[in-house]
Amino acid sequence: MLRLDQKIEEGLAAYRRSMRAGERDEARVAVGRIVERVPHQPEAGFSSAMAILREGGLDAGITVLRAVLAAAPENAGARLILARALIAEGQAEAGEAELRALADAELPLPAAVIELAGALNQRGAGAEAIEVLQQAVEKMPGETGLKINLGGLLASAKRLDKARRVLESAVAQAPEAPLAHYNLARVQRELGADEAAMWHFRQAVTLDPSLDQGWRNLGNALLDLGRVEEAFAAFHQGTLARRGLGSASSRDPQFFRTSASKLTHDIEQFRYLRQQGKLPEAFDETIAAYEQTLAELPAAESLSHIVDIPKHLLAALAPTYNRLSVCEPSPVRTPRAVNPRIDTASVAADYAQNAPGIAYVDDFLTQAALEELRRFCLESTVWFQYRYGNGYLGAFFDDGFASPLFYQISEELRTAMPEIFGSHTLRKLWAFKYDSRLSGIPMHADFAAVNVNFWITPDDSNLEPDSGGLEIWDKEAPADWDFSKYNTDEAAMRRFLSAQNARSVKIPYRCNRVVIFNSDLFHATGDLHFRPGYENRRVNITMLYGKRQNA
């Protein structure tokens, strides 16, 4: 006679066979057999439920877990797993009820309290989430995880002083907990305590080097302190943690969503890297998987339309998609990266004369620096951002676009033209790469004091030498407009410019031309007519200096 746990195992095996064969009715019968045995062997039933859930069987797993809890209602672990499964299946109210039962116990289950608070906060009940955590902390003051989460929610609610006290208690209690330092650092930065914030961010990433948001926030804290070179290093470490080959998988949609324009670029780049000998022959299989994915994308209104990567192809793309397959940072150039022959006094005079601040000059970089930047932008798989409606791709300072050469350029330029830059240090750095079939960036302004924009694609890639550059209007964005308004509300921008009788300056595209202008000025990419082909894609690099309120 078979032992009961063996019968449960047989039921689990039958369930798996039925699901593989697509026999849903037979699978339900198998689940029923498991449920019949659960009262006699709750632990084996729980193990079978976990196995079913791991294979994606939410309905069946929930059914078995309910049987387990009917037989062993004190099994807090089974109740927690049931709550998670219910929420995953879309039964949020039922899932929350299970979590609340665990949270309201005389001795609450900390993980359940944290998940209940998260679920409440997710649906907009932030005040209730805070109350749930506060009550649990009063019952279990030694549970650091509760304090870390409470501090985070208090910070989100802008109750910064209380958040600081809670998180300082968490750090004192568990100085080895990276998230305690991380959340405290965020609060300290909000409170303007930049040095303290930087110290706690450093502690967080020292304790957990894989904490990519810790590296990113450390970099931003360093920028606040004007320590730009150190920020470059922190951002680079964060990108390695987040996007290095073999780094932990992420639920960030960037890793499993795509567009035709994004895939087309990546295929072109991988082919280019194979030609340059930067990727092994085995990578041809990866390229073929990308090509198959592109071919199977559902019909879309535009090349930039974002969709999920088909599930049956995701596994083939996941190891490389939006990751650092190739990234060789550009080294510092000696003796200079910025062309020493530039008449900086003349540029500064042009900037002042063309109020409220516009100037441009050719032969911006030395030939060696230009070629090195060109190599970096062609070869480095750092073009992660594909959210833009016009299909261009972005690479950002805090997400892979942080080579030492950029820091050198930014500092040489700033120190060469103090009349323009004053005490403003680099705050943002990015690049955009364009599809020759699509248009560029629409009208907007940038949140900074001074904008530096330069181009590195060869001139013979541009089919219309009188266009392809930048159009800048000579009126500043109103001081009371927020970031969203002067970045996305193009109708409001055009009404404002019309009312102000603004004139635009059209600066044609030239390789190695730099345009320096007041960041409050509205600007847009000129009409694009570039040759097809990967090496002909227009690339512009933008550096933002200082803060808008300090301009």
In angstroms, the CA 260 to CA 287 distance is 14
In angstroms, the CA 372 to CA 330 distance is 6
In angstroms, the CA 283 to CA 108 distance is 51
Q: How far is CA 197 from its chain centroid?
A: 21
Q: What local confidence, expressed as pLDDT, does residue 530 receive? A: 96
The pTM is what?
Answer: 0.88
Q: Is the pLDDT of residue 220 over 50?
A: yes
Share of the chain above pLDDT 70, in %: 99
Helix axes 4-20, 42-54, angle to 10 degrees: 20
Q: What local confidence, expressed as pLDDT, does residue 3 receive? A: 53
| Residue 163, both tokens | 């958040």
The per-residue pLDDT for range 231-243, each reduced to its tens digit, is 999 999 999 999 9
Residues 6+ apart with CB under 8 A from 353: none
Report the pLDDT averaged over residues 180-194: 97
In angstroms, the CA 317 to CA 296 distance is 14
Q: Is the pLDDT of residue 249 over 90?
A: no
| Residue 105, both tokens | 């116990």
Report the pLDDT averaged over residues 96-103: 94
| Residue 325, both tokens | 């397959």
Q: What local confidence, expressed as pLDDT, does residue 9 receive? A: 86
The per-residue pLDDT for range 116-138, each reduced to its tens digit, is 999 999 989 999 999 999 999 99
| Higher local confidence (pLDDT), 2 or 196 | 196
Q: What local confidence, expressed as pLDDT, does residue 100 receive? A: 93
| Residue 64, both tokens | 């078995």
Give, for 523, the enclosing helix (H) or strand (E).
Answer: strand 521-525
Give, for 453, the enclosing helix (H) or strand (E).
Answer: strand 450-455
SS3 359: strand
Taking the alpha carbons at both ends of the chain, their separation in whole angstroms is 84
Cα dist. 152→40, 155, 157, 209 in Å? 43, 5, 9, 20
Q: How confident is the model at residue 551 (pLDDT cuts 50, 70, 90)?
A: low
Report the pLDDT averaged over residues 346-350: 97
In angstroms, the CA 333 to CA 232 distance is 17
3-class secondary structure for 267-294? Answer: HHHHHHHHHCCCCCCCHHHHHHHHHHHH
Residues 6+ apart with CB under 8 A from 69: 75, 78, 79, 82
Is the CA virtual torsion 147, 151, 157, 158 positive or negative? Answer: positive
Q: Helical H runs in 244-360?
A: 260-275, 283-296, 311-317, 344-353
Q: What local confidence, expressed as pLDDT, does residue 158 receive? A: 96
Q: What local confidence, expressed as pLDDT, does residue 389 receive? A: 86
Q: Is the pLDDT of residue 4 over 80?
A: no
Q: What is the mean pLDDT of the chain?
A: 94
